[in-house]
Homo-oligomer: A and B are copies of this chain.
Amino acid sequence: MEGSGKTASFVKEITRKSEDISRWYTDVILKAEIADYAPMKGMMVIRPYGYAIWELMQAALDRRIKETGHQNAYFPLLIPQSFLQKEAQHVEGFAPEVAWVTRGGDEELAEPLAIRPTSEAIIGYMYSRWIQSYRDLPLLINQWANVLRWEKETRFFLRTTEFLWQEGHTVHATEAEAEEETLRMLGVYEEFALTELAVPVLSGLKTEREKFAGALRTYAIEAVMPDGKALQAGTSHNLGQNFAHAFDITFLDRDGTHKHAWTTSWGVSTRLMGALIMTHGDDHGLILPPRVAPYQVVIVPIGRPGGPDDAVAAAVDRAVTGLRAAGIRVTVDRRAEQTVGWKFNEWELRGVPLRLEMGRREAAAGQALLVRRDNRERVTVSLDQLPTEVAALLESIQANLLERARETIRTKTSIAHNYDDFRRLLDEKPGLIVAPWCGDSECEDRIKAETTATIRCMPSTGEIAEMKPQGPCLCGQPAKRMVIFARAY
């Protein structure tokens, strides 16, 4: 009874997701020990369980980045103020968000140094030294690093003053190659989010107003949260020759003439942790897709307080050995001071995809009871078949989570034919609203000011890209194309 009492109070501590997703999100991150508040405004600590998820995400993305021909490197944290100022739009966009180092040891610095908000400026400078000839191209480098942006309003993972990310920076001989690279990495992000995180995304071009400061064109992947808000989950920028001009990145081409190069940059960050958590969780806590779950299976031995008896212990050992040999990440919760009910609740909160219960009855029968986190289905499996069955169940959970998330996008996508329609949908059916647009930035600004909705992207492939506007833009002017609006994180 003490157990069920604890259980009840334990679960009560989390706000229901359906009630208040924002409070649920904070509750679950704190209670599942994904992250904690740091004592400095807007900063957080990524705790071991959260960091283990990030490490799995990193490994899966790093593999893709290397498979597409990129190498990792490391550039300095600090960037001289004058470097940031070399590209006019870049400094205008980032200056308000920069943290400045003005003192080193006992000396006041002659020139303030920015903590990198992004690294185009310092990397552009280095590239101008490294690139001489067309033989040095393409140059394909990625960096895993921390960056800082002085944010006013912050929220775990979605917007923090410091965050972790990867930033790719590439240089090409031609505009076509730079555009190809920009789209290739957008595709890598899309596939990565889908396959590893079970987070489906829409991808497309950003408007002039929403593009990266200094880019020619920005592409983004946008996820849709259960509350209908969009979440920009990654960006890929064709920087044109803007940074090549600012930093003098030139090369001697095959034809014997010196030319300015074409550059790209692209990045995803710990923001993806936010997308992952918000997309899949439920009232009981996190639900982690198996591919990025630090523990894919948690084994809870069931027995008398103080530990299970010998037959149970032996069956648990056998299960662990078999699962580990099959490359499955498994942990055993042997804590004596917690009840079984408490453990069940805690591991549900922490989103472990499969719970394996092993009691005397199961041990005697050479079986294990498996409980899925996503749909709570229970299945009894023979220990002989355990690794195979668990592998299949994990795949099924991964697929189910993706399908659910896809369903969220489907049910939260609407088409608006006019501004009244648009405003009504925003309130009544929050989500993505596909609508005709004239292409005018001032129209975009007005809609944002009046509704807080922004154009998330202009898809270049797929169903929405092929839609023809049926009427005028929301503003009444002739429409050029259909775009996706949403309120966003």
Say yes or no: is A101 at the interface (Cβ < 8 Å to chain B): yes
Q: Are B101 and A105 in contact (CB under 8 A)?
A: no
A36-58 vs B, CB cutoff 8 Å, 1 = contact: the mask equals 10111001111110111011000
Q: Choose the segment among A75-83, A181-189, A404-412 that binds chain B (4+ C-beta atoms closer than 8 Å).
A: A75-83
Chain B residues with Cβ under 8 A from A77's Cβ?
115, 146, 148, 162
Chain B residues with Cβ under 8 A from A378's Cβ?
none
Chain B residues with Cβ under 8 A from A83's Cβ?
39
Q: Choose the segment among A8-16, A66-74, A303-311 that binds chain B (4+ C-beta atoms closer than 8 Å).
A: A66-74
Q: Choose the segment among A121-129, A386-394, A441-449 that binds chain B (4+ C-beta atoms closer than 8 Å).
A: A121-129
Question: Residue A76 contacts which of B50, B102, B104, B162 (CB distance < 8 angstroms)?
Answer: B162
CA distance A76 to B104 in the complex (A): 19
A93-111 vs B, CB cutoff 8 Å, 1 = contact: the mask equals 0001111111111100000
Whose C-beta in chain B lies nearest to the C-beta of A97? B105
Q: How many copies does the complex hold?
A: 2
- Give the interface residue-count category, chain A: 35 or more
CA distance A204 to B38 in the complex (A): 36
Whose C-beta in chain B lies nearest to the C-beta of A50? B73
Question: Residue A40 contacts which of B36, B43, B48, B113 (CB distance < 8 angstroms)?
Answer: B113
Whose C-beta in chain B lies nearest to the C-beta of A106? B96
Known contacts A102-B100, A103-B100; is-contact A75 B150 (Cβ 8 Å): no
Question: Residue A80 contacts which of B40, B115, B164 (CB distance < 8 angstroms)?
Answer: B40
Say yes or no: is A230 at the interface (Cβ < 8 Å to chain B): no
Whose C-beta in chain B lies nearest to the C-beta of A62? B55
Question: Residue A99 contacts which of B75, B103, B125, B146 (CB distance < 8 angstroms)?
Answer: B103
Say yes or no: is A135 at the interface (Cβ < 8 Å to chain B): yes
Say yes or no: is A420 at the interface (Cβ < 8 Å to chain B): no
